[in-house]
Structure formats: C-alpha cells, structure tokens
C-alpha cells in the first residue's frame, strides 16, 4: 500500500505542476473548473498589432471552402506573426494524459511562434463541445480535439468547417464524417487490443483463461478499440472466458474500485486486462489488499496499456506481465500538419502513431520487447 501512497504523492505533485502549466486558457473559456485560473494565462495579454495579421483570411471568404481546399489556409504572416491553436484536451485522468498535455504545451509554445489556448475538459463531453464552440468564436487559426468520446461531434465540427477553421482530431477518434475535419492522428487501438490478445495466447500456450477486463472511459475510441481488438483474439480461443468487463474510467481510483468489486464476485480468474496503467495501479492495490498474487510469479497475469514510465517499471519488476504502448508524444505530428496547412500544402487524412508492446524480463515474445533497465532508461516519457 506504500506503493500507492508514493504514487499518490507523485501524482499529486504531477497534478499541481500540470494544473499550473495547463492554465493557458482563453479568458472566456474557463470551461473546466480546474483550468488553474489563478495561474498566469499568457494569451490574456492584449494581442499585439502584428498578431492580427496572423489571423486567417476573414471567415466568410473561407466559409464556402470545402474541407479539401482548407489547405489554402494562409502562410504565416510575413512578420512571422503567432499562430493561434486551440486544444480541447480530454482531461487529466492518467499519466499518459499528463505526458500528452506536456508534449502539446512544449510544442505549441510562444517561443515556437504559437499562441496555445489549452483547455482541460475534465472528461466531460458537454464541456468539450462548448470549449470547441469557444475556439470558433475566438476565430483561432487551428483547433485540436482529443475527443473524450467518439459520438456527438457532427454539429460542432460542421460549425468549425463553416467558420473555415481547420480541425485536427488527435489521440482518439470521432464517429463523424471525415469531411467534417481536416485530419486525424493517433494510435491504432484495435491493433493494440489484438497485440495484447496475441501475446496472451502465446504466453498461455493453450492454458485456459478466465479473464476480467477493466475498460477505459465509456464511449472513448481507446476503450472501444482495445475491447474490440482483444475480443477478436478471445473469439479465437474457445478455452478463454471473459468473466466480466467494467469501465474504470482510465483512472487509478476507478481501477481499484472495479477490481474490488470483481474480487467480491469472482474467485477463479487468472488474467486481468487493464486498459491503461493507472487502472493497473488501482487493480494491484486491490489485489494486494485481498492477498491475491499477480505478476510473473503470481496467480494472476496483468496486461496493461500505455507503457508509461511507472507502468514499464512495474513490467520490469515482473508485476505487470505485458504492457502495450500507445505513444503520447504526438504533438509533433499535429505541428507537421499545421506547418503544411500554413504553407498551403495538402495533408494526409490520417497519421498513424506507431507503438509496440513490452513484456516482463525472462519472457521472449514475437509480439513484444522484453523489458530491461536499458529499455526503461531509453524511454522518452
Ligand atoms: C490512448 C489515450 C488513453 C490512454 C489513457 O491514446 O486516449 O486515454 O490509454 C488515457 O491513459 O486516459
Ligand atoms: Zn477533474
């Protein structure tokens, strides 16, 4: 349990830091209570004259521009005026998210010529929709959205398109007509779920599996994809049974809560799939409290997703046996798209952020890299 206190303390420290740093919100957009309103928000300064020239051509002249010709967004103003980017971020639910947020703030910095309007939407879809509406009203040059859930985006995406503002769907996917946004980028969540399943089949080598799944946030493409991918492999193994599958909302508290309820209902499980590292930390705390052993030397095999630093430390320690990565350092891909659009170049409709899987020391797999201290030391997040 001391582990979780350590984790809680680090998380609290991280949260304080990310709240302070994440306070860059557009004044009228303190949509999410935790926007760190007391921290300085650089973009609340009066916009210097030259910034106006960096604004895209007046909306009406782009309004009728169909998505494919949005590439004609103007090149940066001759004097290199700043480019305004709105980022409606999922929230602050996980270590992965913190790394993703920091990566966007580091990339879209004032020093790099950007004015970032960052809003932490606190896992609330309605807040995220209103945040995007606010970006449209502000007539920002670009809008990035990491959608909390896949459904419910058509209307506001149409509004952004009508306003002639290029929209980048990042990290997670939306269930909307692709002509309603400029580009999408992120990991292949179905492939991640299948990687976990394929590794498990290789590891169990024919043994039965009674599986409990702690899913991510309801309706998130990361949840839907990982569940679909893993179940594709479950259906290929007739001696595997998924006993239960509940959402832990991608948080440590959620993972612990769901695992505690699973422990009350099931006693014959030998595999727990956590759809992100923070849920795995919570599940481990719950199993510790119940005296259930896990890891390479335990009764239960834990599979996790995200391959964050702490998650890979547990994999190196043999507590998490398999950890499937989804790389959070994606802001560079978003910046590449914006630079191309600024230069009037066409952009790809989809950019895949590649990832891999990791397994505990002592295990060799054709689906995953065997963890070592060097692998851990070599990680960028
Ligand atoms: C995956 C990302 C997920 C992470 C979670 O790309 O959307 O959201 O797996 C995070 O940690 O909450
Ligand atoms: Zn919150």
At residue 16, the pLDDT reads: 52
Parts of the chain with a pLDDT under 50? 1-7, 14, 21-75, 77-78
Which pLDDT tens digit goes with each residue over 346-356?
Answer: 999 999 999 99
Q: Which-ligand-closest: CA of 192?
A: 1
Q: Is the CB of 171 under 6 A from ligand 1?
A: yes
* Cα distance between residue 149 and residue 81, in whole Å: 34
CA of 28 to the centre of ligand 1 (A): 28
Whose CA is closest to atom 2 on ligand 1? 222
CA of 124 to the centre of ligand 2 (A): 9
At residue 83, the pLDDT reads: 98
- 292 phi, psi to nearest 5 deg: -95, 130
Which pLDDT tens digit goes with each residue over 213-267?
Answer: 999 999 999 999 999 999 999 999 999 999 999 999 999 999 999 999 999 999 9
CA of 200 to the centre of ligand 2 (A): 34
Q: Which-ligand-closest: CA of 225?
A: 1
At residue 198, the pLDDT reads: 98
Residue 275 CA: nearest ligand 1 atom is 9
Q: How many CB atoms lie within 10 A of CB 226?
A: 30
Q: Is the CB of 187 under 6 A from ligand 1?
A: yes
Q: Is the CB of 310 under 6 A from ligand 1?
A: no
Q: Is the CB of 224 under 6 A from ligand 1?
A: no
Q: Is the CB of 215 under 6 A from ligand 1?
A: no
At residue 275, the pLDDT reads: 98
CA of 341 to the centre of ligand 1 (A): 27
At residue 62, the pLDDT reads: 35
Query: Ligand 1: which of 145, 149, 306, 355 to mutate, most ligand atoms within 8 Å of CB?
Result: 306
Q: Is the CB of 96 under 6 A from ligand 1?
A: yes
* Cα distance between residue 324 and residue 326, in whole Å: 7
Q: What is the mean pLDDT of the chain?
A: 86
Find all residues with CB under 8 Å of 172, minimum gap 6, and list them.
90, 146, 147, 148, 150, 186, 220, 221, 222
At residue 1, the pLDDT reads: 32
Which pLDDT tens digit goes with each residue over 324-349?
Answer: 998 999 999 999 999 999 999 999 99
CA of 134 to the centre of ligand 1 (A): 25
Whose CA is closest to atom 6 on ligand 1? 171
CA of 353 to the centre of ligand 1 (A): 13
- 160 phi, psi to nearest 5 deg: -65, -40
CB 203, CB 170: distance < 8 Å = no
Query: Ligand 1: which of 102, 122, 276 to mutate, most ligand atoms within 8 Å of CB?
Result: 276
Q: Which-ligand-closest: CA of 18?
A: 2
CA of 88 to the centre of ligand 2 (A): 14
Alpha carbon separation from 102 to 24, 97, 105, 191 (Å, rounded): 12, 9, 5, 26
Q: Is the CB of 103 under 6 A from ligand 1?
A: no
Q: Which-ligand-closest: CA of 32?
A: 2
């Amino acid at each position: 349990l001391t582990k979780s206190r350590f984790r809680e303390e680090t998380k609290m420290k991280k949260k304080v830091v990310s709240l302070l740093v994440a306070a860059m919100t557009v004044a009228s957009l303190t949509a999410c209570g935790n926007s760190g309103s007391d921290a300085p928000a650089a973009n609340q300064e009066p916009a210097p004259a030259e910034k106006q020239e960096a604004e895209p051509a007046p909306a009406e002249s782009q309004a009728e521009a169909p998505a494919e010709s949005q590439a004609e967004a103007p090149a940066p103003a001759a004097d290199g005026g700043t480019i305004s980017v709105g980022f409606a971020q999922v929230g602050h639910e996980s270590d992965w998210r913190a790394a993703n947020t920091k990566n966007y703030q580091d990339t879209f910095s004032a020093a790099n010529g950007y004015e970032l309007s960052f809003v932490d939407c606190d896992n609330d879809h309605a807040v995220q929709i209103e945040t995007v509406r606010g970006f449209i009203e502000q007539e920002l040059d670009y809008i990035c959205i990491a959608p909390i859930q896949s459904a419910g985006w058509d209307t506001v995406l149409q509004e952004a398109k009508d306003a002639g503002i290029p929209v980048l769907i990042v990290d997670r996917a939306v269930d909307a007509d692709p002509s309603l946004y400029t580009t999408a980028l992120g990991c292949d969540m179905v492939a991640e779920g299948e990687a976990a399943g394929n590794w498990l089949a290789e590891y169990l080598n024919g043994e039965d599996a009674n599986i409990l799944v702690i899913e991510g946030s309801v309706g998130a493409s990361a949840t839907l994809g990982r569940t679909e991918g893993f179940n594709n492999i479950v259906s290929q193994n007739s001696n595997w049974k998924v006993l239960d599958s509940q959402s832990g909302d991608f948080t440590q508290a959620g993972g612990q809560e769901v695992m505690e309820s699973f422990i009350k209902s099931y006693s014959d499980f030998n595999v727990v799939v956590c759809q992100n590292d923070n849920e795995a930390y919570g599940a481990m705390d719950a199993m510790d409290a119940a005296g259930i052993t896990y890891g390479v030397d335990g009764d239960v095999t834990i599979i996790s997703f995200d391959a964050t630093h702490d998650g890979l430390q547990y994999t190196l320690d043999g507590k998490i046996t398999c950890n499937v990565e989804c790389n959070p350092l994606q802001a560079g891909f978003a910046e590449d798209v914006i630079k191309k659009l600024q230069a009037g170049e066409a952009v790809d409709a989809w950019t895949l952020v590649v990832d891999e899987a990791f397994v505990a020391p002592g295990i060799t797999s054709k689906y995953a890299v065997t963890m070592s201290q060097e692998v851990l030391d070599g990680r960028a997040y």
